[in-house]
């Protein structure tokens, strides 16, 4: 969904160019030479694409995520924000509109492709409303911080269960077994008078049925 002829770089390539000056042909030539020494390209097309980005002086970074700016045709900012509410009858998400980019919801390509005509966001699944994640961060966020964050590898969570201390609750001594702890709890419960707890009705929040165009 990037514009035609706009080179699409990897995060590593974009971070490499972040602090380089490319305002003259000589500086662009030095950047290409520096990249040849320090970067690894997957194939010739990848390298040529990177060179095109340097020559043109602009590029995009493909993350497969987009923001929806429903006021883009008017030259204004109104990003879609997914709220915590859901429609009381359809159970579909309820959305709002915000000027605050940090609150805007990021949508994956898969989510956008799955939209159908009955979805609230379906009319906005068009190029004029979609802003690539990189372009949005470049214009409204902190691109340096973003590149550092997205370039970091997510640590894999170990499937093994480790010993965890739960703050606020007394822990049994290591020599105590589960059965001994259970017996202690049963003994304590015998001395406590039984009380009938009153059930309190649960308040259910209902969200708005459609997008509000009120800018926050």
Q: Is the pLDDT of residue 216 over 60?
A: no
Residues 6+ apart with CB under 8 A from 96: 80, 81, 83, 208, 211, 212, 214, 216
| Tens-digit pLDDT profile for residues 126-183 | 999 999 999 899 899 888 888 887 544 433 333 333 233 323 333 344 444 434 434 4
| Tens-digit pLDDT profile for residues 81-99 | 999 988 888 888 899 999 9
Residue 77 pLDDT grade (very low, low, confident, very high; cuts 50, 70, 90): very high
Residue 163 token pair:
């010993």
Q: Is the pLDDT of residue 66 over 60?
A: yes
Bridge partner residues of 130 (DSSP) = 68
Mean pLDDT for 93-122 is 91
The number of CA neighbours under 13 Å toward the Cβ of 22 is: 19
Taking the C-alpha atoms of residue 67 and residue 14, their distance in angstroms, rounded to an integer, is 20
Q: Residues 86-99, buried b or exposed e (16+ Cβ, 10 A)?
A: eeeeeeebbbbbbe
Residues 6+ apart with CB under 8 A from 10: 61, 62
Q: Is the pLDDT of residue 67 over 50?
A: yes
Residue 4 pLDDT grade (very low, low, confident, very high; cuts 50, 70, 90): low
Query: In 10-94, which residue ranges form alpha helices assigned H by DSSP?
Result: 11-17, 25-38, 44-56
The number of CA neighbours under 13 Å toward the Cβ of 24 is: 3
What residue spans define the domains of the chain? 8-61, 65-151
Is the alpha carbon torsion for 177, 180, 184, 189 positive or negative? Answer: positive
Cβ–Cβ under 8 Å, residues 183 and 190: no
Mean pLDDT for 100-126 is 91
Q: Is the pLDDT of residue 197 over 90?
A: no
Q: Is the pLDDT of residue 201 over 80?
A: no
Which of 105-114, 178-187, 192-201 shows the lowest per-residue confidence on average (mean pLDDT)? 178-187
69 CB burial (10 A radius; 0-12, 13-18, 19+): buried
Q: How many of the other CB atoms lie within 10 Å of CB of 55?
A: 14
Taking the C-alpha atoms of residue 81 and residue 73, their distance in angstroms, rounded to an integer, is 18
pLDDT score, position 189: 43
Q: Specify the higher pLDDT residue, 11 or 194.
A: 11
pLDDT score, position 158: 32
Taking the C-alpha atoms of residue 85 and residue 95, their distance in angstroms, rounded to an integer, is 8
Q: Which pTM was predicted? A: 0.58
pLDDT score, position 48: 96
């Amino acid at each position: 969904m990037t514009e035609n002829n706009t080179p699409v770089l990897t995060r590593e390539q974009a971070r490499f160019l972040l602090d380089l000056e490319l305002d003259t042909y000589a500086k662009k030539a030095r950047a290409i030479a520096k990249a040849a020494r320090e970067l690894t390209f997957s194939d010739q097309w990848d390298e040529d694409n990177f060179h095109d980005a340097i020559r043109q002086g602009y590029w995009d970074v493909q993350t497969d995520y987009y923001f929806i700016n429903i006021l883009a045709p008017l030259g204004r900012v109104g990003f879609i924000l997914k709220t915590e509410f859901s429609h009381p009858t359809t159970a579909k998400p309820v959305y709002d509109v915000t000027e605050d980019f940090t609150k805007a919801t990021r949508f994956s390509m898969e989510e956008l492709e799955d939209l159908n005509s009955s979805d609230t966001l379906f009319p906005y699944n068009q190029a004029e409303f979609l802003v690539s994640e990189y372009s949005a961060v470049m214009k409204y966020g902190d691109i340096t911080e973003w590149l550092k964050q997205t370039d970091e590898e997510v640590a894999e969570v170990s499937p093994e269960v480790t010993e965890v201390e739960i703050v606020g609750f007394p822990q049994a001594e290591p020599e105590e077994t589960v059965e001994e702890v259970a017996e202690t709890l049963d003994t304590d419960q015998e001395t406590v008078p039984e009380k009938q707890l009153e059930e309190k009705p649960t308040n259910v929040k209902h969200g708005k049925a459609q997008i509000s165009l009120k800018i926050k």
